[in-house]
Amino acid sequence: MNAMKTFVLTSLFAGCAAAQGFNDRPPNGSDQEPAFENQTRAPALPRVAVAHRTVVDGLEHPWGMAQLPDGSWLVTERPGRLRLVAPDGTLSAPITGLPKVDAEDQGGLLDVIVGDDFADTRRLWVSFAERDPDNLTHVSVATGVLSKDATRVEDARVIWRQTPYPSTLHYGSRLVLDDKGGLFVTTGERGGNEFRHAAQDLQTTLGKVVRIDPLTGAPMGKPGVAGALPEIWSWGHRNMQGAALAPDGSLWTTEHGPMGGDELNKPQAGRNYGWPDVSYGTEYSGEQITEGLTQKEGTEQPVYYWDPSIAPSGLVFYEGEMFPDWNGDLLLGGLQSSSIVRLKLSGDRVVGEARYLQNVGRVRDVDVAQDGAIMLLTDEDGGALIRMTPR
C-alpha cells in the first residue's frame, strides 16, 4: 500500500457554471420545469483553490468510513473487509468478527459509523448485503464492539434486516445516529421496473428511510399511516447512498435517480417522496418514468435535483476550521461526476453549487476530519482515502 503520498495536486474553479465545466450539458428531461427557483442548476459559487493528497491507496472498492477519537479511520471495503487507517496512513489487516456479507453486484460491506461515546463504548455499526436461506438478499445492520487492539469486532450481532428480494442492486444503506436515541437506515428499492414500485408499498422496507433502536433494532419510525410497518420514517425513495444529520438535528439524504433526477431531500416523518410515480429523471432508454410526472399531490418535492446525473454518494454538513466560509454547507461525493460537490444553503433551499477535484475518481463517501480537512473515498479496484485542504 502507498501511504501518505507527498505530492500535492491543485484544483481551481472559476465563478461561473460555464467555466467550471458543470451544467454545460443539456438536461435529459428537456421538457421538465423545476418547481421553484434554484431547485436545480443553482448559481455556481466563487472560485476556491484546494489541494489534495492520498493518505492510503490500493483499497478494494471502499464504501464507508468513520473517524475514531485518535484520528484514525475505519474504512469498509465492499468484498467484506473492515480496515483501520492510522493517522500516518498505515493500513491494518482486515478486522475480524463481522457477519458474512454477500458481495455480488452492488452488494457487500457498505457503511460504518461510530457514536460520540466511542471512546467509552468502542461500539460501531455496519450495514451490509446479506443472503438468506431462500437465496434472497437484503440490507442488514449489525452492531458490535471494536477490541482494544482494533483487530476484531466483538459480540457482533445483526439487529435489523430489510425485506428480502431477489435482486443484487440498489441497496442504499447509509447509517445515521440521530440526537434523540434513534438510528436512521436508508434503503434502496432494489432496482429495475420489476421492483421499483415497492418504494410505495408500506408493507416493505424497500425504498424507505427506516428508524430503529440502535441496540435492539426495535421500530422507532413514524409512518403515520394505518397498517404501515412501524420502522418506516419516509418512503418513495429510489436508492439513497447519502445521509447526514444537520446541525439542527434534521436528517438530509441524497439518492440516485435513473438518467438524471438525482435528489437531495430532507425526509420528514410520514411523507412520500414520490418514486417511481414522480421523478425528474428519465429511463435509461430515454422513455418517461411511469407517466412522466414531476409533481403529484401527496408527494414531496426534492430540495434539489441534478440532471444530468452526478450519482451522489456520501453526505456531510461541513463544520470545521479549514474552510470557515463553508460552515453549514453540504458536501457530497459524486460517482459519475467524479468530484466533491458543495451546496450552499439558505434555510431549506440551495443557493449555490460548486465542484472540486473534478476527475479525482468515483467519490463514494465524504467526511470531515477533526482538524477540518475534507476526507473522501474513491470507489475503484484500487480505491483511495484522500485528504482535501485549502491551498
d(Cα 385, Cα 366) in Å, to the nearest integer? Answer: 10
For Cα atoms 347, 351, 353, give the angle at the middle one, nearest 5 degrees.
125
Distance CA 4, CA 77 (A): 19
Cα(205)–Cα(308) distance, integer angstroms: 28
Tell me if the bond preceding 308 is cis, omega within 30° of 0: yes
Of 52, 61, 170, 237, the active-site residue reads 170
d(CA 124, CA 189): 26
197 annotated active-site? no
Determine the Cα–Cα distance for residues 60 and 75; give it in Å rounded to an integer. 11
Determine how many CB atoms are found less than 10 A away from the CB of residue 23: 20
Kindly provide the b/e burial profile for residues 228-266, where b requires at least 16 CB atoms within 10 angstroms of the residue's own CB.
bbebbbbbbbbbbbbbbbeeeeebbbbbbbbbbbbbbbe
**Cα–Cα distance, 160 to 231 (Å, whole number):** 10
> Which residues touch 227 (CB under 8 Å, ≥6 apart)?
202, 203
CA dist 232 and 234 (Å) reads: 6
Quick check: 272 and 234 in contact, CB under 8 A? yes
Residue 92 falls in which region: left (phi positive, over 0), alpha (psi -120 to 50) or beta: beta
Residues 371 and 307: their CA atoms lie apart, in Å, by: 34
Known catalytic residues are 170
